[in-house]
Amino acid sequence: MLDPKLIRNELDAVAKKLARRNFQLDVETLEKLENQRKALQVKTQELQNERNSRSKAIGQAKAKGEDIQPLLDEVTQLGESLKQSETELNQLHTELEAILLGLPNILDDEVPDGLDEDSNVEISRWGEPPEFDFEVKDHVDLGAPNDWLDFEAASKITGSRFVVMRDAMAKLHRALIQFMLDVHTNEHGYTEVYVPFMVNSDSLLGTGQLPKFEEDLFKIDSEHGYYLIPTAEVPVTNLARNEILSAKQVPAKFVCHTPCFRSEAGSYGKDTRGLIRQHQFEKVELVQMVRAEDSADAHEALTQHAETILQKLELPYRKVILCAGDTGFSSTKTYDLEVWLPGQGKYREISSCSNFQDFQARRMKARWRNPDTGKPELLHTINGSGLAVGRTLVAIIENYQQADGSPPLCSFPA
């Protein structure tokens, strides 16, 4: 959520910045509602003030044994107009809140212009795509022998966009998770957490998946109305929801392995083959909660931590900065790490590292207490995949494939 004060005081500037995302802010409506809110809130609070002081007077008169009936008669009108005023104010607040929750974050100035991924800008490359002197296979073909990767079984059990892994493939998959967790906890100073894989709607509101992107989520059809998590970002970041962290708890750095569940609504026909786009996949997620002044550096560092995994696995990748149109709703600035996939002959996203600044923190009231002022301040949140495990698996078996068509399942140093 954007700072309501910023919206009040610099509405046109905000509108101009949001326009970079191709988002059209309804300045007129917002201005009108805001003016109404202000007038109504002042009026309501005046009425509340009057009610409070009169009620107090009644209490004091009663305590002295005086006749309170005349005082009671005076306030009969008050209740009605106060109630009406409060109801109207509540409606206005709800309306304004709905608009505010639907506004995307303001982009960092460094984010390049552009409508879609074609305008993303490459920042760096690491490693060289391998040369093969035989015909390259993709991971689906490489995983077919011994039913290592069995998409048919999964579609029988559940449906499309699921997989069954067997034997060495399942082990390699598990080993990758372990490897990533170990690197981030041992070398990068993250604390491992284990969290629920289902969350309530407040949590999704906090990180920004709700209210706008409900169709991307799996909702559990039960009395609780829980959702399956689309990323560990949701439960982990929400650890700080409605909290005021002490100065020594900041920066908070968490690494968390979870399955992720995405409906992939709207991506029909996209990446239908293989592991690239599944309804269920494993991810090791990095989350940091830091002081405002530290978030830019922390974002760079976190991205580096994700890159370390690719480098240790010796997988060629490139780093891009997402353009305005491709940057996610809650993010001010996002780096994508794209790994080379020989099966596709191109770089594909394997990690997305974003700085949300105070956007999520404001939604979820995640704060820390600054000892210099003694006052709570909003945290800045940063997260990124470190890495998407399924896609890492794809990258390994494709980049390290052998001439005889076998994946390198025996050579991984797990």
Residues that bind RNA (CB under 7 A): 4-5, 38, 41-42, 45-46, 48-49, 51-56, 58-60, 62-63, 68, 72, 75-76, 78-79, 90, 223-224, 244, 365, 367, 369, 375-376
Let me know if 291 is a catalytic residue.
Answer: no
Q: Which residue among the candidates 54, 277, 291, 318 is catalytic per the annotation?
A: 277
Q: Choose between 78 and 181: whose C-beta lies nearer to RNA.
A: 78
Q: Choose between 46 and 167: whose C-beta lies nearer to RNA.
A: 46
Q: Choose between 8 and 125: whose C-beta lies nearer to RNA.
A: 8
Closest distance of CB 34 from RNA, Å: 9
Q: Choose between 55 and 124: whose C-beta lies nearer to RNA.
A: 55
Q: Are 22 and 115 in contact (CB under 8 A)?
A: yes
Q: Are 394 and 276 in contact (CB under 8 A)?
A: yes
Q: Are 189 and 179 in contact (CB under 8 A)?
A: no
Separation between Cα atoms, residue 47 and residue 34, nearest integer Å: 20
Closest distance of CB 49 from RNA, Å: 4
Q: Which residue among the candidates 21, 262, 348, 367 is catalytic per the annotation?
A: 262
Q: Which residue among the candidates 85, 295, 391, 398 is catalytic per the annotation?
A: 391
Q: Which residue among the candidates 34, 349, 369, 406 is catalytic per the annotation?
A: 349
Q: Which of 401, 229, 351, 403 is nearest to 411 (CA)?
A: 401
Let me know if 161 is a catalytic residue.
Answer: no
Q: Are 360 and 209 in contact (CB under 8 A)?
A: no
Q: Which residue among the candidates 351, 352, 354, 385 is catalytic per the annotation?
A: 352
Closest distance of CB 81 from RNA, Å: 12
Let me know if 352 is a catalytic residue.
Answer: yes
In the chain, the N- to C-terminal Cα span, in Å, equals: 43
Let me know if 338 is a catalytic residue.
Answer: no
Closest distance of CB 7 from RNA, Å: 10
Closest distance of CB 200 from RNA, Å: 9
Let me know if 241 is a catalytic residue.
Answer: no
Cis peptide before 245 (omega within 30 of 0): no
Q: Choose between 277 and 365: whose C-beta lies nearer to RNA.
A: 365
| DSSP secondary structure letters along 292-344 | GGGHHHHHHHHHHHHHHHHHHTT--EEEEEPPTTTS-TT-SEEEEEEEEETTT
Separation between Cα atoms, residue 407 and residue 137, nearest integer Å: 10
Active site residues: 262, 277, 349, 352, 391
